[in-house]
Amino acid sequence: MIPAEVIAEVRARNDLGAFIESAGVQLRRRGADYVGRCPWHDDSTPSLVVSPRKQYWCCHGACSAGGKRVGGDVIEFARRLWGVGFREAVARLDGGVVSAEAVPAAKEKATPAPALLERVAGFYAQALARSDAAVKYLASRGITRGELLTALQVGFVDGSLIETAPAGSPVRKELTAAGLITAAGAEFFFRCVVLPLRDLAGAVVGMYGRAIDGDRHLYLPGPRRGLVNAACAATTDGIIITESVIDSMSFLDAGIPNAIPIYGVNGWTADHDELLEKPRIRRVVLALDSDEAGQMASAAI
Ligand code: ZN
């Protein structure tokens, strides 16, 4: 069971309107509500109605034609968008605060092939330079060094990948199986700054996305794997562990080369274990937020 407080926090932290727009649905104001085209039926009306006050959405068109109203909160929207169960939707919206044992996500999808993720990471990296909004977002977080972005292969998801993968094509199937394109036909990391996550051998085994609008952290479905900046372990005897990817990037941007993030306070992976088992690594400094969750995570490590 996911604790009710976690569900309430996920709802509070993920604004419904911002989330729906991040899925590629354009909303415009109509009285106290917003309206947009429903992503689940061929909608020219538009019949998706979103109440920012109630944080509730509803399709007044074909989806609800059977008499049963299709609508709900941000979790229900995410669940339908990603084609996943309730728990997985909560976990993804939560960006890792729900503990791994509460979420049996591992069985949902096979681990995508590193070669595919490597190609996609390269595609997204090219899109970063074209996006003023993404560059501006990174600058707002103090990350400005171009060589850092190149070294970490930082990218941006502007929605153009899907254009290279027509519905029904083999590559579309591959991207969908990897979780990069959702069952609803949207890019999973749409409007996110993304980084490939690598294992200690350098293979891309996961991907992280940070929405440039809103406060969402996304990871590919399946067990959380891979590290940012793992390569630094070859040249240092001390590691600084940060709570988020952006925190690590801030360290790196400031010229401190050995920062490696976990993914939220429960985001310790098998790759982190493997990293610390390296004989070379003698010192580990935890640079977690000084809030209660960060202190609990420090105690657990
Ligand atoms: Zn609909």
* pLDDT score of 106: 35
Burial class (CB in 10 A: 0-12, 13-18, 19+), 200: middle
CA of 1 to the centre of ligand 1 (A): 30
Q: How far is the CA of 151 from the centre of ligand 1 (A)?
A: 43
**pLDDT for the residue numbered 265:** 65
Which residues crowd ion ligand 1, with CB under 5 Å?
A: 38, 40-41, 59, 61, 63
Ligand 1 centre to CA of 60 (Å) is 7
| C-beta of residue 63 within 8 angstroms of C-beta of residue 40 | yes
Structure confidence at residue 95 as a pLDDT band (50, 70, 90): low
Q: Is the pLDDT of residue 117 over 90?
A: yes
Mean pLDDT for 148-153 is 94
Instruction: Kindly tell me if the per-residue pLDDT of 289 is higher than 50.
Output: yes
How many A from CA of 49 to the centre of ligand 1?
A: 10
| Residues 151/179, Cβ–Cβ less than 8 Å | no
d(CA 93, CA 79): 10
The first and second tokens of residue 201, run together, are 């051998």
3-class secondary structure, 262: coil
Average predicted confidence (pLDDT) for the chain: 85
pLDDT at 111: 61
pLDDT, residue 5, reads 81
Local confidence band at 240 (pLDDT 50, 70, 90 cut-offs)? very high
pLDDT band for 182, please (50, 70, 90 cuts).
confident
Q: How many residues does this entry show for the chain?
A: 301
